[in-house]
Structure formats: structure tokens, C-alpha cells
Amino acid sequence: MTSKETRQKFLDFFEEKNHRIVASAPMVVKDDPTLMFTNAGMNQFKDIFLGNRVSKDLRIADTQKCLRVSGKHNDLEEVGVDTYHHTMFEMLGNWSFGDYFKKEAIDWAWELLVDVYGLNPERLYATVFEGDNSDKLDADTEAEELWQQYLPTERILRANKKDNFWEMGDQGPCGPCSEIHVDLRSDADRASKPGRDLVNADHPQVVEIWNLVFIQFNRKASGLLEGLPAKHVDTGMGFERLCMALQGKTSNYDTDVFSPLISKISDLSGVSYTASDNQTDVAIRVISDHIRAIAFAISDGQIPSNSGAGYVIKRILRRGIRYGYSFLGFKEGFMHKLIPTLAAQMGDAFPELKKQQELITRVIQEEE
Ligand code: GLY
């Protein structure tokens, strides 16, 4: 299944379940002092969760452009070195604002992954919150029981606050979560070591694909949790990882999300990509990742600069350039030449890329 079909199937599925499909919010955040960039699909709904704004829709779904390069969620150092973290990524999400809760969130996640996308249920694991004494929270036995309809108990794992209590930042909406992990290893590897031993263990082929968050609290500046007036659902599925699973690959970079960019970088540099850990392959992965972050940030109005969010973008751009010059033999600007490939590939889902293609190219070229 192509990435385009995968994205569309997600949106169609939730539209059929009476969700309104909305556009991604900008990746650059201008009106929240606790956040520089959108780090999760739920950011644009923060005020609804907190009860400060009423949504006219009780159910929403979308694909959200996210950037995790600063603050509580920062994956920058993993990018390119591993095969499944990114600076910019798409997060597929469905939300309930005081409407459905754990049962529907879990039932629909299973239905979509297994019945619609056709993932092998034998390869799926669910994690649930084990509780936490410091926050006076009990284990999430409700989610655990709901998963028992679909999974044998040995594939439902309890995990601690770090993995199974999701928080947007140091303050803000939060709650226990239940993650779905997929084991993409070969049958022989799966037979020799159970996947449950590799869940949440940084294994590149046993990865989290979907996080179902049950938002019930607001973390105050004091660190204390305050109950919210209503209970909400906030889910986030890693689009690139889902594509990896559905395309039978073991690296996000081997999917059609990245392969056009990787081919273009190889063409421009004359260095072929061999999907290994050597420096040229890491450089190609870094550049194919970073160009997406930079292009989307510029199209959302964030020009590289010497302070704040602009400086973060400038550093990502310089990191990409440095990898190109150091390991791929580039001697002049090359990142801007990737923009037509990116716009052709993602411009239908994100029209801002096509509309602003010229500006994005010019800004990057000037920096280079
Ligand atoms: N808000 C859910 C997630 O980012 O995982």
C-alpha cells in the first residue's frame, strides 16, 4: 500500500466513524509560550481539553505535521543514525472531546490496523499504564481488560510513567496512555526471542506505532495533577512507521515516503544508498529527513534566523549541509535542489509546499 493510500484510508476510516477531518495545524507554534513547534497532533486542541474552549465537533481526525527537536520531546540525535526517528513527521490522530473514551479508541484502533490495513495481529503488542505512586495513580486495568478481547495476556504489557503516561510538556493536558507496538522481525528472529522482551527497548524493528492517550488531567506548574472537567481521547500514530509496517520494510527510509528524496540525493552526489550504518548512508538519511523539517517550517512562516524557533531551523539546515559536505562530497549548495522532489511527492496532502515552492527554494539557497 502506498503512503498516499495509507494516509487516505486513515482519514476515510475515521470519517465513517463520524469524525470531522481537519487540516494539519501549522508546525510552527506562535501562540503558546510553552511550545516552539507542534510536537503532537493534540497541540491545536489543548484549550479544548483544558475546558477553555468548546469545540463544535466532538470528534475530529487529521494528519498533523510535527517537529520534535526541542523541549520535552526531542529526537534530533537519533535521526539518521537509527531508521525510525525523525525531526519532522506526520502524526495521524483521532480525537474525542468528552465523547467516546477508552473502549471505542481501542476497538477502532484494532479494527483499523487489523481489518482495514491488514497487519498481522500476531505481531502486535499493547502496553498499558502500570500506575504511579508519586502521582497517586492506579494501574489502567480498564484498558488492560479491553485489550484482552484482542490480545493474549502475554502480549499486553504494563509500563511505567515514562512510557505510558503522556504529557504534552512540563505543564498541560495529560493522561495514561496505551501504546500499540509492532514486531517487524523475521519469523526466525521472532521464534528465537519473544517480541515482548523488545517492546520499549529501542529495537529498530519492534517499534511503537500508535499511542492512544486518555486525557484526564492538567499538569500544573506546581507539578500537581488536576482532574479535567471531561475525559478525552487523543491518539497519535506515526505515519512513517505505519508505512514501514504496511510496505514490509524494516526502515522508514525504505518506504515511498523517503525513497524519492533518497534517489535524488544519490543522483546529486553520485553516492549510492545501501541502507547500512556507514557514514554516507547516515548522511543520506539525515539530509532526507532534515529537508522535510526545513521546507515545512519555511512554508509555515518560519524563516531560518539567529534566535528562537528560527535558530532551531537554521541549525537543522546547517546540520544537513554539514553532513552533505563532510560525507557526500558536495562542494556547493544542494539542499534547495531537493525541493521539487519533495513538493511533487507531498504537495497533494500539504498544498502549502507547492504554493510556496519558490520561496522555500530561495530561502534555503540563500542560507546555503
Ligand atoms: N499525543 C499523543 C502522542 O503524541 O503520542
Residue-wise pLDDT tens digits, 44-61: 999 999 999 999 999 999
C-alpha cell at 340: 521539487
* CA pair distance 342, 302, nearest whole angstrom: 18
Using a 6 Å cutoff on CB, does residue 328 contact ligand 1?
A: no
Q: What is the pLDDT of residue 76?
A: 81
Give residue for cell 526471542: 193
Using 70 as the pLDDT threshold, list the residues of the chain that sit under it: 70-72
Instruction: Please say whether the beta carbons of 367 and 317 come within 8 A.
Output: yes
Using a 6 Å cutoff on CB, does residue 130 contact ligand 1?
A: no
Q: What is the pLDDT of residue 324?
A: 98
For a substitution probing ligand 1, which of 235, 239, 241 has the most ligand atoms within 8 Å of its CB?
235
Q: Which CA distances in Å does 288 have to 2, 83, 265, 280?
A: 18, 12, 8, 12
C-alpha cell at 222: 506546581
State whether the Cα torsion 348-350-353-355 is positive or negative.
positive
Please choose, from the candidates 237, 253, 244, 128, the residue with its C-alpha nearest in 3D space to the C-alpha of residue 183: 244
Please choose, from the candidates 83, 18, 21, the residue with its C-alpha nearest in 3D space to the C-alpha of residue 284: 83
Using a 6 Å cutoff on CB, does residue 108 contact ligand 1?
A: no
Please choose, from the candidates 303, 295, 319, 318, the residue with its C-alpha nearest in 3D space to the C-alpha of residue 368: 318
Which residue's CA is the nearest one to ligand 1's atom 4? 40
Using a 6 Å cutoff on CB, does residue 213 contact ligand 1?
A: yes
Q: What is the pLDDT of residue 284?
A: 98
Q: What is the pLDDT of residue 32?
A: 81
192-234 pLDDT, tens digit per residue, is 999 999 999 999 999 999 999 999 999 999 999 999 999 999 9
- Please report the atom of ligand 1 found closest to the CA of residue 168: 1
Q: Is 125 helix (H, G, I), strand (E, B) or coil?
A: strand
Q: What is the pLDDT of residue 110?
A: 98
- Cα 236 to ligand 1 centre (Å): 5
For a substitution probing ligand 1, which of 234, 237, 239, 241 has the most ligand atoms within 8 Å of its CB?
234
- Please report the atom of ligand 1 found closest to the CA of residue 211: 5
User: Which positions ≥6 away from 311 have C-beta within 8 Å?
Assistant: 304, 305
Look up the pTM and report it: 0.95
Q: What is the pLDDT of residue 366?
A: 97
State whether the Cα torsion 91-93-98-101 is positive or negative.
negative
Q: What is the pLDDT of residue 170?
A: 87
User: Which positions ≥6 away from 65 have C-beta within 8 Å?
Assistant: 24, 25, 26, 27, 38, 88, 90, 296, 300, 350
Query: What sections of the chain are H helices per DSSP?
Result: 3-16, 46-49, 102-110, 141-147, 161-164, 187-192, 239-246, 259-269, 279-299, 308-327, 339-346, 351-355, 357-367
* CA pair distance 34, 357, nearest whole angstrom: 30
